[in-house]
A = this chain, B = another copy of it.
Amino acid sequence: MPLVVPTAASDTASDTAADSARSRILDEAAILFLRRGYEGTSLRHLAEVVGMKAGSLYYHFSSKDELLTTILERGIEVMHEAFDRAEHEHGDADPSVRVGAHIRAHLSALYENGPYTAAHVVTFRTAPETVRAALVPTRDAYEARWTTLLRDLQSTGSVATDVDVNVARLALFGAMNSSVEWFDPERGGLDRFADAITRQFWHGASA
């Protein structure tokens, strides 16, 4: 007894049948992986949240690893898309607002586009090595975009010459990504938070 509502005819092509169940599974799995970790999340628990039995998940995914891989890949895609938008909208702005736009975009990926990026940053480290290896290229590409951005700003004199661009990037990533442990997107204030991070990254704490 599939509880699927007819949804007023299928949209463009072959859609909204198992696809909605699939994305529902992905959403809830990402939330659980984010909260309890990959090993700490059982498929029976996930199935219960989604409203089916554990075995039924295998109609949509061939293994737990594939489920994780899909989520982690989507997580980086969201980051790339956010970077794209910032680049498109503020690519030729002043250095500080340009950096601010990219910081805002990264935080947007973490909090405003589903749980995938947040799940990625907290789950990647303990993911099975085969899963991790498959993600390395896309991750490296994202890091490279940031490195290029910062190097450009350094070569044009906006970033201080004695700044180690790699350390600066990793520190910034650490600051932004670790906020998933305490920042509450429900309470809002993402713009203000992004401004504070940008200010801290750009000017530092000293008077």
CB-based contact A170/B160 at 8 Å: no
Q: In the assembled complex, how far is the CB of residue A201 from the closest CB belonging to chain B, in whole angstroms?
A: 6
Partner of A163, one of B158, B174, B179, B205: B205
Across the interface, which residues of B come within 8 angstroms of A179, CB to CB? 170, 174
CB-based contact A160/B122 at 8 Å: no
| In the assembled complex, A39 has its CB within 8 A of some CB on chain B | yes
A contacts with B: majority SS: helix
CB-based contact B200/A125 at 8 Å: no
| In the assembled complex, A203 has its CB within 8 A of some CB on chain B | yes
Q: In the assembled complex, how far is the CB of residue A181 from the closest CB belonging to chain B, in whole angstroms?
A: 6
Across the interface, which residues of B come within 8 angstroms of A178, CB to CB? 170, 173-174, 177-178
- Contacts of A84-126 to chain B: CB distance below 8 A: 95-96, 99, 122, 125-126
Q: In the assembled complex, how far is the CB of residue A117 from the closest CB belonging to chain B, in whole angstroms?
A: 15
Query: For this complex, into which size category does the number of interface residues on chain A fall?
Result: 35 or more
Partner of A200, one of B122, B167, B193, B197: B167
CB-based contact B175/A171 at 8 Å: yes
Separation of A95 and B163 alpha carbons in the complex (Å): 20
- Contacts of A116-167 to chain B: CB distance below 8 A: 122, 125-126, 150, 157-164, 167
| In the assembled complex, A59 has its CB within 8 A of some CB on chain B | no
Partner of A206, one of B96, B125, B207: B96
A residues lining the B interface (CB < 8 Å): 35-40, 95-96, 99, 122, 125-126, 150, 157-164, 167-168, 170-179, 181-182, 193, 196-197, 199-207
